Amino acid sequence: MAPLKALLFDVDGTLADTERDGHRPAFNAAFADAGLDWEWSEELYGKLLAVTGGKERIRFYLDKFNTGFETPADLDGFIAGLHKAKTQHYLAMLGRGAIPLRPGVKRLIDEARAKGLRLGIVTTTTPENVTTLLGSTLGPESESWFDVIAAGDIVPAKKPAPDIYDWAMEQLGLNPDQCLALEDSANGVKSVLGAGIRSLVVTVNGYTQDEDVSGASLVVDQLGEHGSPCRVLSGQDTALTQIDVDVLCWLHEQTHMG
């Protein structure tokens, strides 16, 4: 069995709870800037999360939820403009430190680095969103802790397609059986499994808690922190209180033996 070499982290919903109070209000602010009366409520946004990627999500909204809107001739340009404005709002929020990491994320990253595991980011969000989140939460040096940041339009087919994981592993020079992925959603799980990675921990959140994430080695409500234990929702050891490197190595071994 190949030993575990790298942890691959999703960003939105996994490193941080970015969607409800981050991306969503940033989209709404961009719509207001453009003089549009669109307002993505928390509930509607939950439905829109079926599609990953901000530009793709706006298109999905127009296709399915706002069919009466008279789209401009240059729809791609229109969406790109809205999305650019959205990214500026989102980056400003991150810059203000408005979005913290989820519990246990910093603890696990610090431990993984200390123990020589390689780290990667695999996400559909815009690259600048990733580097700004890392900078605002883990400090300006932290971008260099990651051997690969696979993000945004780097591959045309976003999650649930496996392409972004394939690309990240190619950059790292690693095979799927040397990696463990951390995700939060059904789309993320599909992407991971499609890329042939079988070691997979899912930390669900408010938007993803009812999604089908079967196929994960372990499903928890969070990674867990001292004084704030994780709850195992599905997996082998229900007595776990926090997900650390030993747990991940053990899971990796179990997954590849089973």
Residues carrying an active site annotation: 10, 12
Residue 208 binds to ligand XBP (criterion: CB under 6 A): no
Please enumerate in sequence order all residues whose Cβ is within 8 A of that of 181, keeping only pairs 6 or more positions apart, or say none.
7, 8, 9, 10, 122, 165, 188, 192, 197, 199, 200, 201
Torsion, Cα of 25, 31, 32, 37 (10° steps): -110
Residues forming the site for Mg ion (CB under 5 A): 10, 12-13, 184-185, 188
Distance in Å, CB of 9 to ligand XBP, minimum: 10
Largest interatomic CA distance in the chain: 57
Of 4, 8, 9, 23, the one binding ligand XBP (CB under 6 A) is 23
Among 126, 142, 199, 208, binds ligand XBP (CB under 6 A): 126
Asked if 159 interacts with ligand XBP (CB under 6 A), we say: yes
Which helix (H) or strand (E) element contains residue 6?
strand 6-9
187 contact, one of Mg ion, ligand XBP, none, CB 5-8 Å limit per kind: ligand XBP
Binding of ligand XBP by 89 (CB under 6 A) = no
Q: Which residues of 149-158 are buried (b: 16+ CB within 10 A; e: fewer)?
A: bbbbebbeeb
**Rounded CA separation 81/100 (Å):** 27
Which one of residues 28, 129, 132, 222 is an interface residue with ligand XBP (CB under 6 A)? 129
Selection from ligand XBP, Mg ion, none that 126 binds (CB < 5 to 8 A by kind) is: ligand XBP
Contacts of 140 (CB under 8 A, 6+ apart): none
Find the binder of ligand XBP among 8, 12, 28, 186 (CB under 6 A): 12
DSSP state of 3: P
| CA–CA separation, 55 and 202 (whole Å) | 25
- Among 54, 103, 104, 120, indicate the residue that binds ligand XBP (CB under 6 A): 54
The encoded tokens of residue 231 equal 């709850």
**52 near ligand XBP, judged by CB under 6 A:** yes
- Tokens 């509607």 label which residue? 44
CB of 32 to ligand XBP, least distance (A): 16
Return the one option of Mg ion, ligand XBP, none that residue 103 interacts with (CB less than 5 to 8 A, by type): none
104 interacts with ligand XBP by CB under 6 A: no
**Residue of the chain from 4, 91, 105, 124 that contacts ligand XBP (CB under 6 A):** 124
Residues that bind ligand XBP (CB under 6 A): 10-13, 19, 23, 52-54, 123-126, 129, 159, 185, 187-188
